[in-house]
Amino acid sequence: MYDYLIVGTGLFGAIFAHEAIKCEKKCLIIDKRDHLGGNIYTENIEGINVHKYGAHIFHTSDERIWNYLNQFVEFNRYTNSPIANYRGEIYNLPFNMNTFNKLWGVITPQEAKEKIELQKKKAGIKEPRNLEEQAISLVGVDIYQKLIKGYTEKQWGRAAKDLPSFIINRIPVRFNYDNNYFNDKFQGIPIGGYNLIIEKMLEGCEVRLNTDFFSNRKELEGLARKTVFTGMIDQFYDYKFGLLEYRSLDFQTEVIKENDNYQGNAVVNYTDRETPYTRIIEHKHFEFGTQKGTVISKEFPSEWKNGCEPYYPINDQRNNELYRQYKVLADSEQNVIFGGRLGTYKYYDMHQVIASALVTVEKELGVEIFNEK
């Protein structure tokens, strides 16, 4: 009945469906959730677009990717400038001259460099054996203790001394007063929310929500010539070699009607270890909202267990070796295409998912998408 069964309505699946339909292919796209968009879905609460599965801020330096998305929706000028809250002390992120001035009272870049170098030299770490030593060897003790240690330990659910050093092979440090978190040329939030992008991509595509691929796998696979799978690759193979590990997230969302501006910024990170959540998102600031009241979400990292939502692949040596076993099976498939963060067990930002999807489309459908723009 179909050329492609596409499992998952996130960016990868939606892009593949959109381009396949342009090539006159018949597609069926399914999702186990009751909405489109995967983790970029926004839920309208009190007139505010709430990022239901965590903050999603689009950024890229690839003009082709930027132009591709802009055919579906216009972006606003939102710039990601998160704030760090360490036990009531407020610092700018990423680490820059505003941060250093607050920490040490320094004014010039040279003074900041000297302060960091002095702390690095005093620590005397030659070969970092873990994340803690790696961070101190890069930015010194003060920044590590106040702005890295607690946040990282909450994010990963284990002590920094027990985490491998490669997790932070580099730490962005700026010796200027620029609070823009990203270095990319293009950045913003879709005007009207991310849902508009997915809805426009899937125009003309048959969609079935509340449809779990694994509950009716044989029948669903029999409907199409090929399957595009964006779920967990280990689940696709019934965990044949074992479970891949992920970090998960829980969100506590609150509607605050008596306050129009809860924290003055879209993203505030809580970098002490004692605060149980890693950050608070105030959603209206993504779109410069002036609505009465506000909506905030507290973000709690957690260990992933079967049945929870997987968010972040844990790409350590053990898991990467396990994934390679699954990839051997995936590469041998003639009628299955794997994509997205879960299908390829990679930590992708949105622009990377889009690039990966378009490369897959070009290879599968024999079209040159970027050359058409």
pLDDT tens for 149-163 read 999 999 999 999 998
The answer to whether residue 279 is catalytic is yes
pLDDT the model gives residue 371:
63
d(CA 106, CA 230): 49
d(CA 130, CA 119): 18
Residue 316: pLDDT band by 50, 70, 90 thresholds?
Answer: confident
Global pTM value: 0.94
Catalytic residue among 279, 287, 341, 348: 279
pLDDT the model gives residue 373:
44
pLDDT tens for 160-210 read 999 888 888 778 899 999 999 999 999 999 999 999 999 999 999 999 999
pLDDT tens for 6-22 read 999 999 999 999 999 99
pLDDT the model gives residue 339:
98
Checking if the pLDDT of 278 tops 50, the result is yes
pLDDT the model gives residue 137:
94
Catalytic residue among 24, 77, 127, 170: 170
- Residues 92 and 99 sit within 8 Å (Cβ to Cβ): yes
pLDDT tens for 122-146 read 999 989 999 999 999 999 999 999 9
The answer to whether residue 33 is catalytic is no
* Both structure tokens of 111: 């003074």
pLDDT the model gives residue 372:
52
Catalytic residue among 212, 349, 362, 364: 349
Q: Amino acid identity, residue 290?
A: T
Domain residue extents for the chain = 2-78+185-241+316-365, 95-168
- Long-range contact pairs involving 329-333 (C-beta distance under 8 Å, separation at least 24): 329/237, 329/240, 330/233
The answer to whether residue 247 is catalytic is yes
Architecture of domain 2-78+185-241+316-365: 3-Layer(aba) Sandwich (3.40)
For range 20-39, the mean pLDDT: 97
For range 256-276, the mean pLDDT: 97
For range 281-287, the mean pLDDT: 98
Catalytic residue among 31, 132, 272, 299: 299
pLDDT the model gives residue 169:
79
pLDDT tens for 75-85 read 999 999 999 99
The answer to whether residue 262 is catalytic is no
247 Cβ contact partners less than 8 Å away, ≥ 6 residues apart: 155, 156, 157, 301, 302, 303, 304, 311, 312, 314
Catalytic residue among 33, 41, 133, 174: 174
Catalytic residue among 247, 277, 362, 364: 247
The answer to whether residue 299 is catalytic is yes
